[in-house]
Amino acid sequence: MRYGIIISTGDVGELAELAREAEAAGWDGVFIADALGIETKGFPASPWYDPWVALAAVALRTERVQIGTLLTPPSRRRPWKLAREVATLDHLSNGRMILSVGLGAAKDDGGFYKVGEAMDLKTRARLLDESIDIVAGLWSGKPFSYDGEHYHVDQMTLLPPPVQQPRVPIWVVGVWPKEKSMRRALLWDGIIPQRYGASPGDARLKPEEVRAIRAYVDEHRQAKTPFDILAGGATLGKSRKRAVEIVRPFIEAGATWWVEEVWASGDKVRARVRQGPPRAD
C-alpha cells in the first residue's frame, strides 16, 4: 500500500512547501485538485489555482513523492496541450507524474456550466475516451495520427516523450458496477472507483466494494502490467491506532493506494500533512 494526500489550501504559496513537508513526513504521493470555480448552493466561491503551475512548483521542491491531479476532466482541455503539460511535469519531477482523469464535477464547477463546456454525460465520456487515446499516442514520441468523432491529429510528433515509459501512469475513474465505465479504466494503469448513483458526500467505497472491484480487475483486465486501485477518506485525529484501523481493511481488500482527503486549509491541512500517512503495512 502507498499513501497519498490531497493538498488543498487557500494560499498557493504554501502548496510547494506543504508538499515538501509531506515528503519529509513519509507520504508517497501529493495530489492537487483540478477545478476552475466550485460555486454551488451552500458552497460559496473559494480560492482555486491552476494545477499545472502549482505542480511545477511542487516538482521542484520535492525529490521522491509522486505527484498529480485528482482529478483532471479532459473534456474541457485540448488533449495535445494536456499531453505536453503532463510530459513537461514528468521531466521536471524526473519521472514522478501521474495523470488522473474522469468526467469531472460538471454540475458543481463553474468551469463547466458557466462557460458553455459540454455537460451531457455521454458527450463528456466520448471526449474522455478520445483524449486519453491521443495523450497516450502523443507520449510515444513517434509520429501519431488520430481521426475521432471530436478530435483529429494529423501525424504529430511530441518531443521529448515523458521520462516514464511506456507512458506516464493514467488513473481513470471507474463507476462501480457500471460495466462500460469499469472496462474503460481497465485499459489503463489504475482505477479511481466511485459508487454508482452515490451523492458527492457518499462516494467513498467500503472495503467489501473494493474487494469486489479487485476481483473484477483480476478477472477482466488483460494486460499484465501493474494496476492501481485507489481507496480514500479522512483519518485525521490524535489516535494513530484508529487511523490504521480505518485503512487496514482496504489493504486486505486489495487497494494499492490510500489517498487522504483533507478539504481544508491552514493549520488543519498542515497538521494532517505532518502527522504522516496511516501506515498499516
pLDDT digits (tens, 9 = 90+) for 50-94: 999 999 999 999 999 999 999 999 999 999 999 999 999 999 999
Looking at per-residue pLDDT, the higher value among 142 and 239 belongs to 142
Q: Is residue 220 part of a domain?
A: yes
pLDDT at 44: 75
Average pLDDT, the chain: 93
What is the span of the domain harbouring residue 202? 173-233
Contact 266, 9 (CB under 8 A): yes
Number of structural domains in the chain:
1
| Least confident range of 12-16, 126-130, 160-164 | 12-16
Global confidence as pTM: 0.95
In a domain, 117, yes or no: no
pLDDT at 200: 52
Residues 129-171: tens digit of each pLDDT? 999 999 999 999 999 999 999 999 999 999 999 999 999 999 9
Instruction: Label residue 15 by pLDDT band (50, 70, 90).
Output: very high
Whether 183 is covered by a domain: the verdict is yes
The reply to whether 265 falls in a domain is no
Q: What is the pLDDT of residues 171-183, one digit of tens each?
A: 999 999 999 999 9
The verdict on residue 213 lying in a domain is: yes
Query: What pLDDT digit, counting tens, does each position of 21-47 carry?
Result: 999 999 999 999 998 887 776 677 778
Is 193 a domain residue?
Answer: yes
